[in-house]
Amino acid sequence: MTPTRLTALALAVLLALSTAPAHAATADDGPLVPKVTDGLIDTADTGTLGLERAARAETITVFAPGDDDLKYNHGVVLMPFKGRLYAQWQSSAVDEDAPDTIVTYATSADGKTWSDPAPLTTPRTDGYTSSGGWWTDGKTLVAYLNVWPRALTPRGGHTEYVTSTDGRSWSSPKRVTGADGQPVDGIIEQDVKALPGGRVLTAFHVQPGLFVKPYYTDDPLGVSGWTQGRFDNQPNTPKMSRELEPSWYRRPDGSVVMVFRDQGGGTYRKLAAVSTDDGATWSPSAETNVPDSRTKQSAGNLPDGTAYLVGNPTGARNRFPLSVLTSADGVTFDAAYNLRTAEDLQPRRYEGLYKSAGYSYPKSIVWDGFLYAAYGTNKEDVQLSRVPVADLARRGGPAAVPGRGVLSHDNGWDTGLLDGDYRVTMNLWRGENGSSFRLYENGEPIAARDLAHGGTAPQSVTIPVTGRTNGSYVYTGELVNSKGVTATTSVTVKVTQASPATPVLSAAAPGRDGSVRVTADLWWGTNATSYRFLEGTSVVAEGTLVARTPGAQAAVLDVTGRAPGSYTFVAEFGNAAGTTRSAPLTSTEISTMSPGTRKRGGSKPRPTPAGVPVAITSPGSRATAAEIVSISVGIGKIRSASGASCRSSPLTRVRTRRPDTSPISSRVTRQGPIGQ
């Protein structure tokens, strides 16, 4: 072909591409997204969608309001914890998202008989709080609380949490934080689950407005370290993304599929995106052919790996029936059943703003041999439906009881310290797979993970363990499948360095006004999460630190203006395992200070203690440019992050003082961590 004809052909192709109509992403544009087989769902049949009812499905009422109760109830989320099932939801007297909205919960030992509701929050004066769902590391239960400030525009909010070790007594609310130590400015989605490796995965609707982004954390408690996955939203409005309110499940190949409500695309079908690296990066969302009612949904995996979708696949706004769709490969959903239909939908008893008929905002969990789906019926009654897992499983049962797994740990290998944060791993090298794994610490259950059954292929799961104090911990485990239970080997972890390393106090040369900075340095060792400066027995400053064991940490105290005399300062560094105190630093008065001679002989940096690796504590000339920049940037971020949580004493007049042989001034002005 001649160059002239090639050029003409290229121009023709470019012209065709430039004039082709734009289209939304579809399943053909990227990784395989979920689909339903043709004819599975009949959206013209508004009563049943052409589906049969699951034969052994049963419906249970958690709470039904009377005339004297809160009559709006919605956003029901379930979580097992220490042998009981917990249900959380939001309640108000009449209307949705009203100022009197609170978050409440109830518990059950068998999933059928439930306690009376108990409040987790009280009404706010600056907005309202809605249910954010649950998470647990096995020892502590986390209740997420979504806070919607009234004055925030466009509409959005942030996430707080409270914790409990007994399911009855709760901590004070705190903000959920990201990997940078800063609060996450976003509303958490109520589908917090863990991958087999222990990574916790969900999504936040981030400010400004409500733009959904996948997030993950390796904090087993799910309250810190949240990192935003790389995901590009489809175009929509300046106030919210097209994708909203997602859930997710795994495929047999390990990929993760996140399904979304399509808020802005004009469809009543789900959107979906795929991650092949445990939530770090995601494909663009694509339209599926799975019908939806443009509402929250729930997705997950049964113990044998079967993927399921729970929701209202009506292809219209009505939120009934409530159905479950299943797939053996996580791509093609070719079986479906109803859990509730229009036939057994009770009438709404009380009126209220945005209260509509149906089974709204379902969220699901697998517990004790059942798939549970909880929802608000007519946004009024708190109910759940459950069906035996065996009735839905698609990937075939095991041929025998599980093989014997081997437990190991990485304490001492991960940071060089026998600290209280480590990972326990179960490896099944040969034998029949388990469908779930249970981990015990000194005989008490602390974690459970669902596993994908892969026949007799090797199987592995890792459980992060954090916050252990000094002592010995014996870990045992159980692999479970439908044929039986097999105990794993045991492993013992010895913790001797759980508390922070000892901080060292020093003082810089004073400024011309007599001000001086006292620094508490943790040069190397187990890191702290908080610090305090004490003068005598009085706390003069305190704040938070970001732990990055075994790296260096520091906190500073600026002191000015005290009456003549002697002053002694002590620093305390703390974490969940305990508190460590520095040696005291005592100051004595100096009468004058000449600006012309205050640095005679040059200034001297703080000495590095014996035995501390110089590369860690003193980047200096041995550090590369990239290391120096990284350290400098980290200082700025951490100082900013700690400012809101630091406390200082009132300012007074400057007076110059000397600590031992180093000049010091005497008035506390500001303080904060550096070099974390």
Tokens coding 450: 């669902």
Distance CA 583, CA 662 (A): 16
Whether the bond into 321 is cis, omega within 30 of 0: yes
Average of per-residue pLDDT across 14-28: 38
Q: φ and ψ at 174, to 5 degrees?
A: -135, 160
Are 548 and 414 spatial neighbours (Cβ–Cβ below 8 Å)? no
pLDDT score recorded for residue 658: 43
- The 3-class SS string of 173-222 reads CEECEECCCCECCEEECCCCEECCCCCEEEEEEECCCEEEEEEEECCCCC
Q: Among 282-291, 463-472, 586-595, whose mean pLDDT is lowest? A: 586-595
Are 381 and 60 spatial neighbours (Cβ–Cβ below 8 Å)? no
Tell me: do 346 and 487 sit in the same domain: no
The pLDDT tens digits of the residues spanning 248-263 come to 999 999 999 999 999 9
pLDDT score recorded for residue 566: 73
Element at 632 (helix H, strand E) = helix 625-643
Distance CA 336, CA 236 (A): 32
Distance CA 318, CA 295 (A): 10
Tokens coding 214: 């996948």
Tell me: do 251 and 379 sit in the same domain: yes
In a domain, 185, yes or no: yes
Average of per-residue pLDDT across 325-347: 97
Confidence band, pLDDT 50/70/90 cuts, at residue 435: confident
Distance CA 79, CA 363 (A): 10
Average of per-residue pLDDT across 606-621: 38
pLDDT score recorded for residue 413: 94
Any idea what the CATH number is for the domain that residue 140 is in?
2.120.10.10
Residue (of 308, 322, 384) closest to 79 by Cα position: 384
Is the predicted pLDDT of residue 592 greater than 60, yes or no? no
Tell me: do 272 and 346 sit in the same domain: yes
Torsion of CA 88, 93, 99, 104, to 10 degrees: -20
Any idea what the CATH number is for the domain that residue 425 is in?
2.60.40.10
Average of per-residue pLDDT across 23-42: 73
In a domain, 187, yes or no: yes
pLDDT score recorded for residue 257: 98
Domain boundary among 495, 514, 545: 495
Amino acid at the residue 171: S
Average of per-residue pLDDT across 425-443: 94
* 3-state secondary structure (DSSP) of residue 108: strand
Tell me: do 479 and 525 sit in the same domain: no
Tokens coding 191: 């589908």
Domain boundary among 359, 391, 423: 391
Tell me: do 383 and 488 sit in the same domain: no
Are 422 and 413 spatial neighbours (Cβ–Cβ below 8 Å)? no
Torsion of CA 454, 456, 462, 463, to 10 degrees: 90
Tell me: do 143 and 227 sit in the same domain: yes
In a domain, 383, yes or no: yes
Q: φ and ψ at 362, to 5 degrees?
A: -70, 145
* Burial class of residue 340 (count of CB atoms within 10 Å of its CB; 0-12, 13-18, 19+): buried
Tell me: do 381 and 489 sit in the same domain: no
The total number of structural domains that make up the chain: 3
Are 428 and 400 spatial neighbours (Cβ–Cβ below 8 Å)? no
Is the predicted pLDDT of residue 471 greater than 80, yes or no? yes
pLDDT score recorded for residue 514: 63
Is the predicted pLDDT of residue 15 greater than 90, yes or no? no
The pLDDT tens digits of the residues spanning 209-218 come to 999 999 999 9
Element at 11 (helix H, strand E) = helix 3-19
Confidence band, pLDDT 50/70/90 cuts, at residue 438: very high
Percentage of residues of the chain with pLDDT beyond 70: 81
The pLDDT tens digits of the residues spanning 63-75 come to 999 999 999 999 9
CA angle 118, 123, 128 (to 5 degrees): 115
Domain boundary among 495, 521, 556: 495
pLDDT score recorded for residue 126: 96
The pLDDT tens digits of the residues spanning 551-577 come to 999 999 988 876 666 788 999 999 989
Tokens coding 570: 């002590």
Element at 581 (helix H, strand E) = strand 578-581
Confidence band, pLDDT 50/70/90 cuts, at residue 188: very high
The pLDDT tens digits of the residues spanning 629-653 come to 222 223 233 333 333 344 443 333 3
Average of per-residue pLDDT across 373-399: 93
Q: Among 266-275, 331-340, 508-517, whose mean pLDDT is lowest? A: 508-517
For 92, residues 6+ apart whose C-beta sits below 8 A from its C-beta are 70, 72, 98, 100, 101, 102, 128
> CA 622 → CA 231, 545, 616, 618, distances in Å?
38, 26, 10, 8
In a domain, 626, yes or no: yes
For 26, residues 6+ apart whose C-beta sits below 8 A from its C-beta are 286, 287
Tell me: do 525 and 440 sit in the same domain: no
In a domain, 4, yes or no: no
pLDDT score recorded for residue 565: 65
Tell me: do 156 and 102 sit in the same domain: yes
Confidence band, pLDDT 50/70/90 cuts, at residue 508: confident
Q: What is the CA radius of gyration of the chain?
A: 29
Is the predicted pLDDT of residue 324 greater than 80, yes or no? yes
Domain that holds residue 529: 504-592+616-674
Tell me: do 574 and 659 sit in the same domain: yes
In a domain, 398, yes or no: no
pLDDT score recorded for residue 303: 86
Is the predicted pLDDT of residue 487 greater than 70, yes or no? yes
How many other C-beta atoms can be found within 10 angstroms of the C-beta atom of residue 114?
19
Residue (of 166, 164, 167, 187) closest to 175 by Cα position: 187
Is the predicted pLDDT of residue 415 greater than 80, yes or no? yes
Q: Among 335-339, 412-416, 605-609, whose mean pLDDT is lowest? A: 605-609
The pLDDT tens digits of the residues spanning 189-199 come to 999 999 988 89
In a domain, 349, yes or no: yes
Q: Is 3 left (phi over 0), alpha (psi -120 to 50) or beta?
A: alpha
pLDDT score recorded for residue 463: 93
pLDDT score recorded for residue 196: 85
Confidence band, pLDDT 50/70/90 cuts, at residue 141: very high
In a domain, 27, yes or no: no
Distance CA 445, CA 439 (A): 6
The pLDDT tens digits of the residues spanning 659-675 come to 443 333 334 443 444 44
Tell me: do 512 and 478 sit in the same domain: no
Are 379 and 72 spatial neighbours (Cβ–Cβ below 8 Å)? yes
Torsion of CA 20, 21, 23, 28, to 10 degrees: -30
Is the predicted pLDDT of residue 453 greater than 60, yes or no? yes
Q: How many residues does the chain have?
A: 676
pLDDT score recorded for residue 563: 64
pLDDT score recorded for residue 512: 67
CA angle 468, 470, 476 (to 5 degrees): 60
pTM: 0.72
Confidence band, pLDDT 50/70/90 cuts, at residue 613: very low
Tell me: do 245 and 194 sit in the same domain: yes
pLDDT score recorded for residue 554: 96
Is the predicted pLDDT of residue 457 greater than 50, yes or no? yes
Average of per-residue pLDDT across 33-62: 96
